[in-house]
Every structure is written in structure tokens, then in C-alpha cells.
Chains A and B, each alone.
Chain A
Amino acid sequence: MRTSATKRILFFLLMLCIAVPVLFPFLWMLSSSFKTQVDIVAWPPRIIFSPIIDNYIRVFAEQNFLRYFKNSLIVGLCAVGFSLLLGLPAAYSIARFKQKKLSVFILVARLMPGISFLMPWYIIFSRLRLMDSYVALILSHMLIALPIVVWIMSSYFESIPLEMEESAMVDGATRQKAFLSIILPIATPGIVTSITLSFIFSWNNFMFSQVLSMEKTKTLPIAVYNFVSYAEVDWGAVMAAAVAIMTPAIILTMIFQKYVVKGLTMGAVKG
């Protein structure tokens, strides 16, 4: 009895040893976002302080942060939407006709360094006068979202038994009709997974927007980064900006926790 109690306490302490280092940067960021500059630069670091919300006011009222929010949202949602439009049929075809080479071809986009496409894009989009346009940003973010959609959905479609669409096709439905009215509804969990993951990765992307966007279409990661270079050491505002950019992704993750874990781990476990 005693040993099991000690064991449980020991285990609990071990869990703390994992959880605290993981959570600490988030907590420190959150608490710093409510600190005055004086509290932030204090030595030794202050854990107890009187919180202020001025940093958030500065970020949202003075820095036009809501516009960058809107830009990130437009780019993310459009990129995910169009990627589903292209990726779902492709993933279905890959799953049903065992188009292994095709899936490798699309997944190479996941492996390649983004910067190897960025310079040609920069040249081409400049020629087409598409710099600082939503079109260019959405196209570039689709290259992030599409491989995720294909990767997750092709294995999801594989797990759906063939009889599902076969019985419908025996009844006279075309394959595309069976895909739309039978397979897609069953695949909802997989679709939710791919939407969540690809949106988060688009939301967090820094490199593509850094080159392709300027003032009009600037997305949040760039805005946060610029904040540091302009505001120099206004740490409180920078931390408030960091909290603001991470909150949506973290809320999404909390809501769709199971899906996110599945999506991130599935490919590797299947082998």
C-alpha cells in the first residue's frame, strides 16, 4: 500500500518534470504580456506584479493588429478551402487506384525547403504584378496545405471499405456521385483533421509572407516579427502580440485535440 502511494507521488513528480518545461515559455509569455517594462527588466525576475492591459491596447489600437489578423484569416481559409477542392479528389483517387507514385510526387512538396520555390515565385509574381496580393499568398500557402490534405486524406479514404461506394454504384450511381454523397460524409473526421492542421501551418508560416507580402496583405507572423525590430525593447507589447498570434492555434488545438494528435502522428506510425 505504502509503496504504491510513493510510486504515485514519484510518477506525479515525473509528469511535472515534463509538463513544467513545456508550459513554462507559454506562461512566461502570458505573464510578461501583462507586465510594465519596469517589471519585465527587473532583476531578479518578478513573479508577483500588478498586471496591466496597456500592452494589449498598444498592440490592437495603435498597431492595426486586427488588419493582420484579417489577412492571416483570409489567406489561411482560402488556402485550406482550395486545397480541399484539389486535394480531396486526388487523395480519393490515390487511395482507390493505389497511385503510389502520384502520392510521392505530391508529398515531395512537404519535404522540399520552401525557400527553393520562393525565389522563382518572387520573380514570377513580380512580373505578373501580383506581389503583395492575396492571390500570390494564397497560392503559396496552398503548397503548405495541399500536401497535408493529400497525406491525411489518402490514408483516411483507404480505411473506408470499398463496399461503401460499390453498393451505390451497383444501384446505378456514378463513381463521382458515390464519392460526393457517400464517401465524403463518412470522411468528415479526416477532413476536420486536415482542415485543422493545414490551417495551423498556414497561420504560422513566416517565410512565404515575408517575401510575397508587403503592407496591404501582411500576415500576423510578419507583423509580430516587425514589432520586434521597430519596437526594439518594448517587451510587453511584443509578448502581447505573441499571445495574440498563438491564441487561435491553441484554441483550435484544444477543441480538436484528438484530430490534431492523429494528424501529426499517423504517417509515421503507419510506416
Chain B
Amino acid sequence: MAKSSFIERHFRIIFPLPAVLFIVVMMLFPVVYTLFLSFTNWNLTSGMPLSLVGFKSYARVLREPRFLEAIGRTFSFTAIAVVVETVLGLAVALLLNREFKGKSMMKLILLLPLVATPVAIGIVWNLFFDPTIGLANYALSLFGLPRAAWVSSARSVIPSLALVDIWQWTPMIALIVLAGLAGLSQEPYESAKVDGANAFQIFRKITLPMISPTLLTAMILRTVDALKTYDIIYAMTGGGPGYSSETLNVMAYKYSFEYFRMGQSSVILVFLFLLVLAFSLGIMALRKRFEL
């Protein structure tokens, strides 16, 4: 064998180096910079140079009812969406988990919402939700129900937006669980059949425990993404009516690029960042602990 070259001796550093440098410059540096800005009162429109103010921006944002409401909204949107998506997704996956003609067609259909442009999806749903010409109210009228305000009332806007998220992302959970189900060992099922277990017992005692690691991972992925949902909310309501659909992401966007209060928007970003990070780390720790 020839004498190993410089590249070969330092292979494990040289090969990942460009990617790591890129991530450091484009992600790590901005995050640190945001953290720094959160301790300033910088406002891009005031023309004043930025000055360090300690935790003053934190205090201001934390006293803001709008901020606390945004946190609550982010959680409720995420909770509604992920819970419904998990239940529906699991049900769809169980139904599809058999050999039948058209299975590949069904999978293709389920893929479509996942690759559809969220902004465009939001606009199509806005047409559905339109109070006067929308199909959503037409569907209600067919059942003799009164018109609903959907995204144009503060009370129904979050569930309506969650409905769009559910439409778009339930297939994701279904496809992940379906792939997981395909990989399960058939042995326990055969012995359960011998023992005369019914379908529900088989689901409770065999399928659910075996699929739960996959299901949990799918839920984590969905939760992280739902916490950061931006496109659909911004395109459909812009955070309105009033602030009633303003999640942390949308609020941070407005503070940064509409009000240019960089110090305060950094505080919101730090919170959003910590929220996602804490959630991911917490779940990872839980998984390790219970060896899921």
C-alpha cells in the first residue's frame, strides 16, 4: 500500500469540514448574534446606535400580554394539530396495512399534501373558509347548520388553521407508521391468532406496543414542525384577526420585519429557540430512559 496522503490521514476532519463551516457561519453565528441582540434595545427605525441594556428587553417582552398569548396559541395550535394527526394517521396506516390493488395509488395520494406548497395550500383553504362564497359554509348548510366564521373570527381561527395543518400533515404520520408496520415481525400475530385473540386485543397488546417507537418519533417530528408553523398562518391570516392567530413565529416576524424592534424580537426568538430545543432534548432523554 502506498504511503497515505495528507487527505487520507485527516480524512475524518477534511471531509465534513466544509459542511460544518457552512453550518457554523449560517446557523451557529446567527444564533449567537441573536442572543447578543436580545440584551440590547436596538431598534432599526430609531436610528440610535445599539446599547447593552441587560435583561430590560426580556422584561419588556415578558410583561407584554401579546407575548404570553402567543405562547399559549403556539401550544394550543400544536396540541390540536398533533393529537388529531396522530389518531387519524394511525387509523389510516392500520387500514392501509394490507395487500390490495391500488395500494401504491393510495400512497401517492397521501404524498401529495406533503409536497404541496404551503402558501398555495393556505390560499386554497382561504377560498373554502370564505364566509360568503366558501365551500366550508356550504357544507354546513347542507346539514342545516348555521354559517361559521372560520378564520375570520378570533374564536375559531386557531382550530380552523389547525384543520389545515391536519389536512396537510396527517398523511405524513400515516406514511411513517405504515412504513413501520411493514417492518414488524409476524411471529406474535401468528401466536395471537392461535390463542384466538380478537382484532382489538391484537391491536392493544401487539401492534400498539411494537409500533409506539415509530409513532412517537413521528409525533416528535410533527410537534417540532407544528411549533414552527409559519407559512400557512401568515398566508391565511397574517396573525389576525387582531392578534388572535399570532403564534411566536409570526410575532417574531412582525417584531423583526414590520416594527424593526430587533432587541425585543431577539428575545422572542430566544424563547422560540429554547422551546424547540427543550422539547427535542426532553423527548430524546425520555426515549433513552424508557428505551423506546
**Total of A-B residue pairs, C-beta within 8 Å:** 268
Other contacts beyond A94-B16, A116-B269, A140-B26: 12, CB < 8 A: A22-B113, A26-B112, A43-B133, A89-B16, A89-B18, A92-B15, A93-B11, A221-B119, A221-B120, A228-B235, A252-B115, A268-B214
Q: Report the interface size class on chain A.
A: 35 or more
Alpha-carbon distance A207/B232, docked complex (angstroms) = 11
Chain B residues close to A by CB (< 8 Å): 1-2, 4-5, 7-8, 11-12, 15-16, 18-20, 22-23, 26-27, 29-31, 33-34, 37, 92, 95-96, 100, 102, 104, 106-121, 123-128, 132-133, 135, 138, 167, 171-172, 175-176, 178-180, 183, 213-214, 217-218, 221, 224, 227-228, 230-231, 234-235, 249, 252-253, 256-257, 262, 265-266, 269, 272-273, 276-277, 280
| Cβ-defined contact, B124 with A242, below 8 A | yes
Residue A211 at the B interface, CB < 8 A?
yes
Contacts of A106 in B (CB 8 A): 19-20, 23
Task: Take A119-B266, A221-B120, A269-B176 as given contacts and tell me if A113 and B112 are in contact as well, using a CB distance cutoff of 8 Å.
Answer: no
Alpha-carbon distance A265/B224, docked complex (angstroms) = 16
| Cβ-defined contact, A114 with B228, below 8 A | yes
| Cβ-defined contact, B31 with A176, below 8 A | no
Contacts of A85 in B (CB 8 A): 18
Alpha-carbon distance A130/B67, docked complex (angstroms) = 32
Residue A69 at the B interface, CB < 8 A?
no
| Cβ-defined contact, A268 with B180, below 8 A | yes
Alpha-carbon distance A190/B156, docked complex (angstroms) = 43
Task: Take A225-B119, A260-B115 as given contacts and tell me if A93 and B15 are in contact as well, using a CB distance cutoff of 8 Å.
Answer: yes
| Cβ-defined contact, A239 with B253, below 8 A | no
Contacts of B8 in A (CB 8 A): 174-176
| Cβ-defined contact, B118 with A22, below 8 A | no
| Cβ-defined contact, B5 with A271, below 8 A | no
A264 to chain B, nearest CB (A): 6
Task: Take A89-B16, A113-B228, A261-B179 as given contacts and tell me if A18 and B273 are in contact as well, using a CB distance cutoff of 8 Å.
Answer: no
Task: Take A97-B12, A264-B176 as given contacts and tell me if A257 and B125 are in contact as well, using a CB distance cutoff of 8 Å.
Answer: no
| Cβ-defined contact, B175 with A120, below 8 A | no
Task: Take A115-B269, A175-B11, A206-B118 as given contacts and tell me if A11 and B26 are in contact as well, using a CB distance cutoff of 8 Å.
Answer: no
Nearest B-chain residue to A252, judged by Cβ: B115
Residue A155 at the B interface, CB < 8 A?
no
| Cβ-defined contact, A121 with B253, below 8 A | no
A 56-98 to B, binary, CB cutoff 8 A, 1 in contact else 0: 0000000000000000000000000000011101101110010
| Cβ-defined contact, A206 with B119, below 8 A | yes
| Cβ-defined contact, A15 with B106, below 8 A | yes
User: Nearest 3 A-B pairs (CB), nearest first?
Assistant: A120-B30, A90-B19, A242-B120
Alpha-carbon distance A143/B230, docked complex (angstroms) = 17
The answer, among B15, B26, B29, B256, for a CB contact under 8 Å with A119, is B256
A 223-251 to B, binary, CB cutoff 8 A, 1 in contact else 0: 01100100000010011011001100110
| Cβ-defined contact, B31 with A89, below 8 A | no
Alpha-carbon distance A174/B1, docked complex (angstroms) = 10
| Cβ-defined contact, A116 with B30, below 8 A | yes
The answer, among B18, B167, B180, for a CB contact under 8 Å with A25, is B167
| Cβ-defined contact, A102 with B20, below 8 A | yes
The answer, among B120, B171, B273, for a CB contact under 8 Å with A241, is B120
Alpha-carbon distance A28/B121, docked complex (angstroms) = 11
Alpha-carbon distance A146/B175, docked complex (angstroms) = 23
| Cβ-defined contact, B111 with A257, below 8 A | yes
Contacts of A150 in B (CB 8 A): 19
Q: List 19 A-B contacts (CB under 8 A).
A: A22-B109, A45-B138, A86-B18, A111-B276, A111-B277, A112-B273, A113-B276, A116-B252, A119-B262, A143-B27, A174-B7, A204-B118, A206-B231, A206-B234, A224-B117, A224-B120, A264-B172, A264-B176, A268-B217
Nearest B-chain residue to A228, judged by Cβ: B123
Contacts of B92 in A (CB 8 A): 18
The answer, among B19, B26, B172, B217, for a CB contact under 8 Å with A89, is B19
Contacts of A261 in B (CB 8 A): 107, 111, 175, 179
| Cβ-defined contact, B107 with A99, below 8 A | no
